[in-house]
Amino acid sequence: MKKIISVLLTSAVLASASFIGLQQEVYAAETKETQALSPKVGNKLLELQELAQNKQCSSAISVAQGMLGWKNLTGYEKVQIYNFMGYCHYNTDNLVASTQAYENVLAQGADAPLGIQQSILQTISSIYLQQENYSKALDSIARLMRIVPNPTAELWVLKGQAHYQAGQYGQVIKPIARAIDMYKAQGKSPKENWLLMSRHASYEQGDYKAMSDFIRELIRYYPKDSYIQQLAGAYSQSGDNRKFLVLTEILYEGGYKTDAGTIKNLSQLYLMEDAPFKAAKLLDKEMQSGRLPNDLANKKLLATSWFQARDDDKAIPVLKSAADQSRDPELYIRLAQSYMNVGQWKEGAIAAQSSIDTGVKNRQAAYTMLGLCNLELKNLTAAKGAFQNAGGRQSRAYIKYIEKEVERVAQLQADLNVKEKVIEKNELLENTEVE
């Protein structure tokens, strides 16, 4: 930012370097008459200008200061002397004296041609910014804009810069937006730094939507990979996960961002946007490649992805490995569900019991799954006990079913026993008759 101000400042000061002839011409254009310098004053100023060009500013300033004591100086002549002194003080890095001299120019009122006033106000505004005197800078800019019929885009930007440096971010965007619109209307691209200031001001206000708009403009006019990454971050901060996903995917597939953090973020975004299969494929590929560590956290993420994608054959080995390593009850209950989905009831019962033993939160679901697995395995007593622990209307219905099933089996067994006794009795009778 200081570099930008330095450029503005140098441009403004250099504009006043040939102050004698140029500023008379400006005034002539405004009033159709030229205020003349007396030969004595004009010749002396030409001598002083030559001294300044030969880097003898201190001597030139001393002589100019003495000239202010001459008799019968006109206001216009004072304007030229003070203007010269301001220029020389600036070249010797005496910014305080420079601004004071320029303020003395403005103090001459109507004797200072409008063109000179405009140039001086822009110059001292830039100097005040360099001195971090933001209130005076903004005051000078306001004075300048009051006397400029049609402020330029650069002047609107200067106003925005002053607010920016003062930390008044809420007042930055509007003036810079005016400048951007003016440039676009002229078929010119807005300057990169204007967009960068607007982006940062939006960020400081927490307006991530506006920030993403400015980053899109940066990408449009100054395409850089870093701006694409910044836009992804802006979408993330604004909660626009779908746009964040698309940009992150572009960065990954384009090879711009392939680090472990990006891969993991992308997989999580896939899960958030109901694309678990893509998440699982990405994680599986990158864990096998070694770019993503095959650690517990990533195993859990991969297991979750395969589980949500309903690919139980691929989910089971990862879920079992992660569950056994972490003793995470939530992973065990997912493992139980996957085993049940493929009809592996014995393994499902073991996993459901493990989830209970490790403190699963949804104990009702875990006991229900344990009951269903035992029911399929015909372990009716164990199934009934699991449903009793689960509780609820559904479990009561299963318990009634189990009780009826137990009665039915018992009745079948009793009938079978009676039948066996009848057969045995008949066999005994037959053997007795033969004898």
**Residue 191 pLDDT > 80, yes or no?**
yes
User: 32 pLDDT band (50/70/90 cuts)?
Assistant: very low
**Residue type at 138 in one-letter notation:** L
List Cβ neighbours of 301 (8 Å cut-off, separation of 6 or more): 264, 267, 268, 279, 283
Residue 338 in contact with residue 355, Cβ under 8 Å? no
pLDDT at 33 over 50: no
Average pLDDT, the chain: 85
Instruction: Report the distance separating Cα 57 and Cα 432, nearest Å.
Output: 148
Predicted pLDDT of residue 286: 95
Q: What is the mean pLDDT of residues 45-51?
A: 91
pLDDT at residue 23 above 60? Answer: no
Distance CA 113, CA 126 (A): 20
What confidence score (pLDDT) does residue 1 get? 37
The pLDDT confidence band at residue 29, using thresholds 50, 70 and 90, is very low
Range scoring the smallest mean pLDDT among 53-62, 205-214, 241-250, 257-266: 241-250
Q: For residue 86, give every residue at least 6 positions away whose Cβ sits within 8 Å of its Cβ, in sequence order, or none.
A: 16, 98, 99, 101, 102, 105, 120, 123
Q: Is the pLDDT of residue 166 over 50?
A: yes
Output the pLDDT for position 194.
95
In this structure, what DSSP letter does residue 37 have? P
Residue 385 pLDDT greater than 80, yes or no: yes
Quote the CA–CA distance of 165 and 5 in Å, as a whole number. Answer: 10
Alpha-carbon distances, residue 72 vs 42, 68, 112, 283, 346 (angstroms): 14, 10, 17, 87, 113
Distance in angstroms (rounded) separating the CA atoms of residues 251 and 227? 11
| pLDDT tens by residue, 236-287 | 777 777 888 887 887 788 787 889 988 998 898 889 889 999 999 999 999 9
Q: How many CB atoms lie within 10 A of CB 140?
A: 27
DSSP state of 188: -
Count of other CB atoms within 10 angstroms of residue 308: 18
Domains and their CATH numbers in the chain: 1-149 (1.25.40.10), 152-257 (1.25.40.10), 327-435 (1.25.40.10)
Residue 58 has pLDDT above 80, yes or no: yes
Is residue 26's pLDDT more than 50?
Answer: no
For the stretch 95-108, pLDDT in tens is 999 999 999 999 99
433/35: higher pLDDT: 35
Summarize the confidence of residues 186-207 as an average pLDDT: 93
**Mean pLDDT value of segment 19-47:** 59
> Which pLDDT score, from 0 to 100, does residue 254 have?
78
Q: What is the dihedral of CA 35, 103, 64, 18, to 10 degrees?
A: -60
Q: Choose among 76, 69, 17: nearest CA to 48.
A: 17
Among the listed ranges 5-9, 206-210, 321-325, 412-416, which one has the minimum average pLDDT value? 5-9
The residue among 253, 325, 246 whose CA lies nearest residue 285 is: 253
- Per residue in 118-147, pLDDT (tens digit) is 989 989 998 999 889 999 999 999 999 999
**Calpha distance 409→386 (Å, rounded):** 20
* Res 410: pLDDT: 76
Q: 214 and 234 in contact (C-beta within 8 Å)? A: no
Tell me if 412 sits within 8 A of 405, measured CB to CB. Answer: no
